[in-house]
Amino acid sequence: MKRLLSTVTIFAAGLAAMVTALPAAAQFAKPEDAIKYRQSVMTVIAAHFGRIGAVVQGKAPYDAKTTADNAAVVYSMSKLPFTAFGEGTDKGGNTKAKPEIWKESDKFQAAAKDFQDQAAKLDAAAKSGNLDAVKAAFGDTGKTCKACHDNFREK
Ligand code: ASC
């Protein structure tokens, strides 16, 4: 049984690695699909990040559980959009993606990682139930949103 389980585990890990290694283009039938996917993910992230923002700005009451739920969505979804910027997805739909995303790919990946790292901290802060920690992490996360948008998204 143990042996079977480890075989299954190894197979599943291999499959996951293969899927992760597939070029993003292969995960979407058309560039338009990748563009729609990444924009949809960003829309959901912005909605939940914005709900935390309302609390941070004192426009909505602080409820620790609601804020933690919103931060968990932001963190979980922060991992998704960057898989949808594969080669050939610079054109097709209604994209504001700048060519620098592909020309300066290392810089773009680093900016994506900054966002994911800060989103993880926001998630941890929100789980702690400490509003001051949430405020600080919200500000730091917002800076990573802005940095990436300034450098890699058309106005
Ligand atoms: C948001 C949102 C963004 C970022 C950015 C942060 O809530 O929709 O694009 O924060 O404005 O500076």
> Tens digit of pLDDT for each residue in 68-112?
999 999 999 999 999 999 999 999 889 999 999 999 999 999 999
Confidence (pLDDT) at 73: 98
Confidence (pLDDT) at 9: 57
Which residues have C-beta within 8 Å of that of residue 102, sequence separation ≥ 6?
A: 85, 87, 90, 108
Confidence (pLDDT) at 27: 86
- Residue 26 to residue 45: CA distance in whole angstroms: 24
Percent of all residues in the chain with a pLDDT value above 90, rounded to a whole number: 81
Split at pLDDT 50, 70, 90, the class of 16 is: low
Which range (21-25, 36-40, 79-83, 85-89) has the least confidence? 21-25
Centre of ligand 1 to C-alpha 98, Å, is 18
Q: Which residue has the higher pLDDT, 122 or 22?
A: 122
Closest Cα to atom 6, ligand 1: which residue? 142
Ligand 1 pocket test, candidate residues 115, 140, 146, 151, most atoms within 8 A of CB: 146
Centre of ligand 1 to C-alpha 15, Å, is 35
Q: Closest ligand 1 atom to the C-alpha of 46?
A: 8
pLDDT (mean) for 137-149:
98
Closest Cα to atom 2, ligand 1: which residue? 46
Centre of ligand 1 to C-alpha 31, Å, is 25
**Average pLDDT for the chain:** 90
Split at pLDDT 50, 70, 90, the class of 10 is: low
Split at pLDDT 50, 70, 90, the class of 31 is: very high
Ligand 1: residues within 6 Å at CB?
A: 46, 49-50, 53, 142, 145-146, 149
Say yes or no to pLDDT of 22 above 80: no
Spatial CA neighbour of 115 closest among 86, 137, 100: 137
CA 64 to chain CA centroid, Å, is 22
Q: Does domain 26-152 have CATH number 1.20.120.10?
A: yes
Confidence (pLDDT) at 4: 60
